[in-house]
A and B are shown apart, each in its own frame.
Chain A
Amino acid sequence: MPEEGMEDNKGREERPKWNNKAEYLLTCIGFAVGVGNVWRFPYLCQIYGGGAFLIPYLIALVFQGLPLLYLELAIGQRLRMGSIGVWNSISPYLGGVGVASMVVSFCVSLFYNTIVAWVLWYLFNSFQDPLPWSQCPLNHNNTGYVKECVESTPVNYFWYRQTLNITPNMETSGSLQWWLVVSLATAWSIIYICFIRGIETIGKAVYVTATFPYLVLTIFLVRALTLPGSSEGLIYLFTPDVSPLSNPQVWLDAATQIFFSLSVAFGGLISFSSYNSQKNNCERDAVLVGVINSATSIYASIPIFAILGFKAHTNYVTCLNGNILALTNEFDISDMNITVENYEQWFDSLNGTHPSRVSDLNLKTCDLQTFLDQSASGTGLAFIVFTEAVISMPGSQVWAVLFFIMLFSLGLSSMFGNLEGILTPLHDLKLVPKWMPNELFTAIICLVLFLMALIFCLGSGNYWLEIFNSYVGSVPFLIIAFFEIIAVAYIYGIGRFSDDLEFMTGHRPNIFWKVCWLVISPLMLFVVLVAYVAVQAQTHPTYAAWNPDYVNFPDTEVLPYPDWVFAICVLLSSVPVISIPLVAIYRLICCMSGRHSKGSLHNDPNPYANEGYVVES
């Protein structure tokens, strides 16, 4: 078994090291805990029966999430390389898995940082009074409010028009929105400054970015619980309803949520753990990161739902007050005689005596449950629903600033992992020219990513981002993870892997881990992959377009993807993973020709990871 010290003396660059264990753990936790914990998990809880959703979620965590996490951290720590080097070492034929990881990390970095740029834009705009999304702007001749804003809401108008300046459909590309370009440049500059010295600067940055969201969530929790209507929101969230559990879609969503939430198959976790010393208990790290990630999701959903309950309550009271005003004006009742509490009695008595006049008023039906049922996830939750709730809270600017800084920290720490999944394999492949300092190389990569991400700053950028999110950020990861587990469990061999784990942690993995790696996790991954593709293939893909000229505006218009866009979607799903079979075939050919010419059995391009080499000291 090669000793630890000899690895450094092989004469390669000394691998950077974490300053202490806390930095490593915080980085992994920050990578795993992202914006999805805040805006995807509460939504899933809401639509899938509240507290009952925790059952499939925790099952998926234990049987799929934790084994994958442990596996990635272990192989990174053992082989001390980025994703490409690691998979080349394990089996040259599966080197394509590493390449696929890198390509997928590249694509995800593109659109993920655009979301961070949007968060920055909202953050910059939160420093004014009144908040720009709280009221409609006046039109050209100051005679009234802008028509599009009046028909929808000020919050919607600020998001779709003043932020995105969205085009009515995907064919219209629109132009570059300069304010988004500026925000995107800021986001990439901040990422660059954190990456300037590699994990030295990342390790410092995560002390803030990984811990600050918890502080803000606690502040919001305390604040939200004092708002009226928060208890209704919480009851609505946590009342378990086991009936949706019979729907297989729930299990599919739980498995995919755990999977994407833990950020496995990006290659970033492998890179982070490769900077560890080999004698590190990665089993404990894996369990810790997985449990903290899920606990954060659950903890985050409490203030989110308290605030959503407050928003529903506010909307309900506004709706009722509109009706009360109409009744008061029509029947000349003394001001404030009808209140929210006695509205029902007044309505019944007035409807009994003057039913025709009451019906002519066209009063709206105000139902608290309807308002609570209005759910949103993703950018809709953060930029539309939450911003609307923040307006009604006293001291709106403070809450808006806190919320967007929290989202920014969450996104930033996830971006560290995304970018690490690109940079480390490139370093390990020795694609960096010797004369180029690391700082310059990182700058070039950030610049390239920034320029490519400019397509998301076009008028139709949001539609493209949704495409990237759905097609790159889903199926390729499932495929990569499936091959990862197969490679380690069957090709590398569970016995050899257990030996490595014994070397690193001091004890062999127990039967639970072995069963998961051999049977349960690959099976679950395969089932989830097939089910996901089947569900996607059943419906012709459509997207929701914001079209002010639409008949049912402000509802979004549901349009099908044009054919050329659909072709791009298929390409996005398949090109990252096409490297897996391609590299396998290439190696096979090389190995055949290599056998003929050199007669060597192993065409291992990385001699230092040859397990048969033992140094007698």
Chain B
Amino acid sequence: MEEGCMINSNFLGISLFMRCLRMLVRILVLLYLAGAPALAQTLCQPNASNGCRVRISIKTALGNQAYEWNENEMFLFRATMAFAMRRYYKTETYNVDNIIMCNQTLRVSFWFVVTSPENSTMLIPKADVEKAVRMSRHRINNAFLLTDRTLEFLGIHPTLAAPVNPDTPPWLIVFGVVIGAVFAGIIALLVSSLLQKRRKEKGMMEDGQDEEDRQMKGVENDNVLDGIYNRGFTDDDRFTKL
């Protein structure tokens, strides 16, 4: 009988200890859960030294096809930022929980900070965050169907479009076409008028006896006959030949 009581009392002690332990764990968990957001809130503040401000203009960018900015979009933003951090540091340790956002307004604008995956109280410096954003800016924009100007990271200037430098300036090509056509036309016209003159000269030399007739008739448009028609000159030979 006595061994059973001793076993019973031991058993009771152990179960009490387990109950106390569970309660402690629950309290700790509750404290942690309650405290974590509070901790996060202290990390993310407007004008914080390591925080970035974001300004989004969906209606300006998309007009009629604008989507509504809600919690899901916020989640997408955090996922995209985590992606950008992963890409920059080339690790796979960043998660959605590392991106903390606060101070959201109707504009839509908000602040966000990035915590280190190893130590959730340590913030990633703003310069590194900016570099990460710059690296993946194009992907971030496309995730939201926005551009550098409608998805603004204040402090990070929009990237300037790289100058398009074609091998030959386009105006030279147009100029080449025009001047080629003009010179071809000039040469064609000069050659054709030269040929016309040669043909007329040949025709004139064949009937040289009729030169006086030609002079009396007058001249054609392009052909220029030298000499001045002297009214006093008459060719009497033609009439007096018998």
Find out whether the CB atom of B226 lies under 8 angstroms from the CB atom of A434.
yes
User: Which listed segment binds A: B2-10, B114-122, B134-142, B168-176?
Assistant: B168-176
Find out whether the CB atom of A332 lies under 8 angstroms from the CB atom of B193.
no
Most chain-B Cβ atoms within 10 A of its Cβ — which of A201, A334, A335, A439?
A335
Chain B: which residue is nearest A122 at the CB level? B171
Q: Does B182 contact A (CB under 8 A)?
A: yes
Find out whether the CB atom of B57 lies under 8 angstroms from the CB atom of A11.
no
Cβ < 8 Å to B, chain A residues 186-204: 186, 189-190, 192-193, 196-197, 200-201
Cβ < 8 Å to B, chain A residues 106-130: 120-121, 123-125, 127-128
Cβ 8 A contact of B228, one of A8, A11, A142, A336? A11
Shortest Cβ distance from A278 into chain B, in angstroms?
16
Q: Does A582 contact B (CB under 8 A)?
A: no
Q: Does A359 contact B (CB under 8 A)?
A: no
Q: Does A533 contact B (CB under 8 A)?
A: no
- The answer to whether residues A127 and B229 also contact, given A189-B186, A196-B186 and a CB cut-off of 8 A, is no
Query: Within the assembled complex, what's the spacing in Å between the Cα atoms of A31 and B197?
Result: 31
Shortest Cβ distance from A193 into chain B, in angstroms?
5
Find out whether the CB atom of A332 lies under 8 angstroms from the CB atom of B228.
no
Contact with B along A1-22 (1 / 0, CB 8 A): 0000000111111101100000
Count the B residues whose beta carbon is within 8 Å of the partner chain — how many? 43
Chain B: which residue is nearest A336 at the CB level? B59
Find out whether the CB atom of A11 lies under 8 angstroms from the CB atom of B171.
no
- Contacts of A123 on B, CB cut-off 8 Å? 174
Q: Does B224 contact A (CB under 8 A)?
A: yes
Query: Within the assembled complex, what's the spacing in Å between the Cα atoms of A17 and B57?
Result: 70
Cβ 8 A contact of A14, one of B162, B216, B220? B220
Q: Does B28 contact A (CB under 8 A)?
A: no
Query: Within the assembled complex, what's the spacing in Å between the Cα atoms of A121 and B162?
Result: 25
Q: Does B230 contact A (CB under 8 A)?
A: yes
Cβ 8 A contact of B229, one of A10, A185, A190, A196? A10
- Contacts of A439 on B, CB cut-off 8 Å? 190, 193
Find out whether the CB atom of A189 lies under 8 angstroms from the CB atom of B221.
no
Chain A: which residue is nearest B182 at the CB level? A189
Cβ 8 A contact of B57, one of A10, A125, A335, A434? A335
Q: Does A329 contact B (CB under 8 A)?
A: yes
Most chain-A Cβ atoms within 10 A of its Cβ — which of B57, B108, B173?
B57
Find out whether the CB atom of A124 lies under 8 angstroms from the CB atom of B107.
no
Shortest Cβ distance from B47 into chain A, in angstroms?
14
- Contacts of A185 on B, CB cut-off 8 Å? 179
- Contacts of B49 on A, CB cut-off 8 Å? none
Query: Within the assembled complex, what's the spacing in Å between the Cα atoms of A123 and B228?
Result: 49
- Contacts of B173 on A, CB cut-off 8 Å? 127
- The answer to whether residues A127 and B220 also contact, given A12-B228, A335-B107 and a CB cut-off of 8 A, is no
Cβ 8 A contact of B182, one of A11, A137, A193, A200? A193
Shortest Cβ distance from A557 into chain B, in angstroms?
30
Find out whether the CB atom of A14 lies under 8 angstroms from the CB atom of B189.
no
Q: Does B93 contact A (CB under 8 A)?
A: no
Contact with A along B205-219 (1 / 0, CB 8 A): 000000000011011
- Contacts of A350 on B, CB cut-off 8 Å? none
Query: Within the assembled complex, what's the spacing in Å between the Cα atoms of A200 and B229?
Result: 26
Contact with A along B30-60 (1 / 0, CB 8 A): 0000000000000000000000000111111
- Contacts of B170 on A, CB cut-off 8 Å? 125, 127-128
- The answer to whether residues A137 and B163 also contact, given A12-B228, A329-B55, A439-B193 and a CB cut-off of 8 A, is yes
Q: Does A138 contact B (CB under 8 A)?
A: yes
Find out whether the CB atom of B218 lies under 8 angstroms from the CB atom of A127.
no
Cβ 8 A contact of A138, one of B55, B160, B220, B222? B160
- The answer to whether residues A9 and B160 also contact, given A127-B174, A189-B182, A329-B107 and a CB cut-off of 8 A, is no
Cβ 8 A contact of A333, one of B107, B216, B230? B107
Query: Within the assembled complex, what's the spacing in Å between the Cα atoms of A24 and B91?
Result: 82
- The answer to whether residues A333 and B218 also contact, given A121-B171, A193-B182, A193-B189 and a CB cut-off of 8 A, is no
- Contacts of B106 on A, CB cut-off 8 Å? 332-334
Chain A: which residue is nearest B190 at the CB level? A439
- Contacts of A201 on B, CB cut-off 8 Å? 189
Query: Within the assembled complex, what's the spacing in Å between the Cα atoms of A182 and B169?
Result: 14
Shortest Cβ distance from B104 into chain A, in angstroms?
10
Between A and B, 20 residue pairs with Cβ closer than 8 Å are A8-B218, A9-B229, A11-B227, A11-B228, A124-B171, A125-B170, A127-B170, A127-B174, A179-B171, A185-B179, A186-B175, A189-B186, A193-B189, A196-B189, A196-B193, A334-B106, A335-B56, A335-B57, A336-B57, A439-B190
With A125-B170, A193-B186 given, can you name 9 additional A-B contacts, CB distance below 8 Å?
A11-B215, A125-B171, A127-B173, A183-B175, A196-B186, A197-B222, A333-B107, A335-B59, A335-B60
Residues of B participating in the A interface, judged by any CB pair closer than 8 Å: 55-60, 105-109, 160, 162-163, 170-175, 178-179, 182-183, 185-186, 189-190, 193, 197, 215-216, 218-222, 224, 226-230
4 smallest A-B Cβ distances: which pairs? A11-B229, A124-B171, A336-B59, A128-B170
